[in-house]
Amino acid sequence: MTSENIPPTGVPSRKLAATSWLWPTTLADNLSRIGAWNLPVRQAALLFYQSALSLAYTQDDIPPVPGLESHVHLPVDLPWKRGAAAVYAVISRLMELAGNLSPWGGVLHPPEAPGLLESVAALWREAAPGWRLLVENVPGQGLRRHWPVIQSLELPVCLDVGHMMAFGQTWLPGLPGLWERVELLHCYAPGTETGKHSHLALDRLTPGQEDELRAVFEALPAKTPVLFEVFSEEDLRASLEKFYGLHHEWGTAP
């Protein structure tokens, strides 16, 4: 499949997202370039991976881009040792900083202790900020221990298929009520080394991984956005081509 087969912006389909780091330039410039594309990508994932660097942004660094939606990937170094209030203060501040793009949700790597996740989620529920707090399956935290909290507080989930494939989380789809909670999918090829993963373009999937991905899309709600979690324009375009090519092979709508 060639890039000519990628539908342009405006063709009705599942919502597709790109990361806010595709070129080695500013966040604002990355967002502007994504917004200007004639590609079926109308959402950006704001990569706030590091707390201090992300909190140093101002709203001028994250300008509004006409027609571009957003969500936030929250820091992986949140101050969990300082307690739920400190963690939620960072989360809420970052969501405010992204306000020009009105992010619909924030993706959270859960702490080891389910009780701490519960405390942060309770603060989010109490604040009722208008954006979703999504819990992601990550290496070492496949969500099994956290599932009672996720269910009791009705938390949405970000399903990372690369983590699922690479870290033996193939039992995840069997969690009760999973699919009704999946509100974002992280999609990429994780590589083939057991217990490790990379963020590779989808054209690097093995045949077995393609079968796993097909099963995911057969269960995934049609309204769930898909983020191609790769970090270059080349890998994004290759992922889009493979994404539409696979759906053509499967005989399914993207």
**Inside any domain, residue 163:** yes
**Is 208 within 8 Å of 170 (Cβ atoms)?**
no
Q: What is the pLDDT along the chain (254 residues), one digit of tens a residue?
A: 446 568 766 555 789 999 999 999 999 999 999 999 989 999 999 999 999 999 999 999 999 999 999 999 999 999 999 999 999 999 999 999 999 999 999 999 999 999 999 999 999 999 999 999 999 999 988 999 999 999 999 999 999 999 999 999 999 999 999 999 999 999 999 999 888 999 999 999 999 999 999 999 999 999 999 999 999 999 999 999 999 999 999 999 88
Q: What is the pLDDT of residue 1?
A: 41
**Is 143 within 8 Å of 157 (Cβ atoms)?**
yes
> What's the CATH number where 224 sits?
3.20.20.150
> What is the C-alpha to C-alpha distance for residues 9 and 238, in angstroms, rounded to an integer?
17
**Inside any domain, residue 254:** no
| Residue 57: strand, helix, or coil | coil
Q: What is the pLDDT of residue 46?
A: 98
Find all residues with CB under 8 Å of 114, minimum gap 6, and list them.
145, 146, 148, 149
Work out the number of other CB atoms within 10 angstroms of the CB of residue 222.
Answer: 10
**Inside any domain, residue 231:** yes
**Inside any domain, residue 83:** yes
Q: What is the pLDDT of residue 195?
A: 83
Q: Of 8, 96, 7, which Cα lies nearest the Cα of 48?
A: 96
> What is the C-alpha to C-alpha distance for residues 117 and 126, in angstroms, rounded to an integer?
14
The type of residue at 185 is: L
Torsion on CA atoms 34, 39, 43, 45, rounded to nearest 10: -60
> What is the C-alpha to C-alpha distance for residues 128 and 110, in angstroms, rounded to an integer?
20
**Inside any domain, residue 107:** yes
Domain residues for the domain of 51 are 3-249
Q: What is the number of domains present in the chain?
A: 1
**Inside any domain, residue 133:** yes
Q: What is the pLDDT of residue 201?
A: 98
**Inside any domain, residue 135:** yes
> What is the C-alpha to C-alpha distance for residues 111 and 118, in angstroms, rounded to an integer?
10
Any bridge partners for residue 158, and if so which?
Answer: 136, 184
> What tokens were used for 185?
């999918």
